[in-house]
C-alpha cells in the first residue's frame, strides 16, 4: 500500500488491512506507518471518521 492508495481507500477496507498488519507483522502503529511510509496522524484521522481509535494496549483500532 502506498500513500496514494491509502488516501483513496475506503476507510472500512483500510481498517481491516491495518488491523491485520498490526496483528500479524507490527508491534505498534508507529512501526507500521514508518515501514509503509504513511502519516500516522492522517491514518488516525481517517479511521476516526468511521468511529475507530487506536488502542496501543492491544495494538488495534477499535
**For the whole model, what pTM was predicted?**
0.93
For residue 14, with 0-12 CB atoms within 10 Å meaning exposed, 13-18 middle and 19 or more buried, which class applies?
A: buried
Q: With 90 as the cut, is the pLDDT of residue 49 above it?
A: yes
Q: Which stretches within the chain are classed as H helix?
A: 3-8, 11-24, 29-36, 40-48
pLDDT value at position 21? 97
Grid cell, residue 56, equals 496501543
Domain span holding position 44: 3-61
Q: Each residue of 9-24: pLDDT tens digit?
A: 999 999 999 999 999 9
| Displacement of CA 5 from its chain's centroid (Å) | 13
Domain count, the chain: 1
Amino acid at each position: 500500500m502506498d500513500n496514494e492508495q491509502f488516501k483513496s481507500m475506503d476507510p472500512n477496507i483500510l481498517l481491516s488491512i491495518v488491523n491485520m498488519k498490526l496483528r500479524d507483522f507490527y508491534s505498534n502503529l508507529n512501526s507500521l506507518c514508518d515501514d509503509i511510509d504513511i502519516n500516522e496522524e492522517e491514518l488516525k484521522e481517517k479511521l476516526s471518521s468511521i468511529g475507530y481509535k487506536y488502542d496501543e494496549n492491544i495494538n488495534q483500532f477499535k
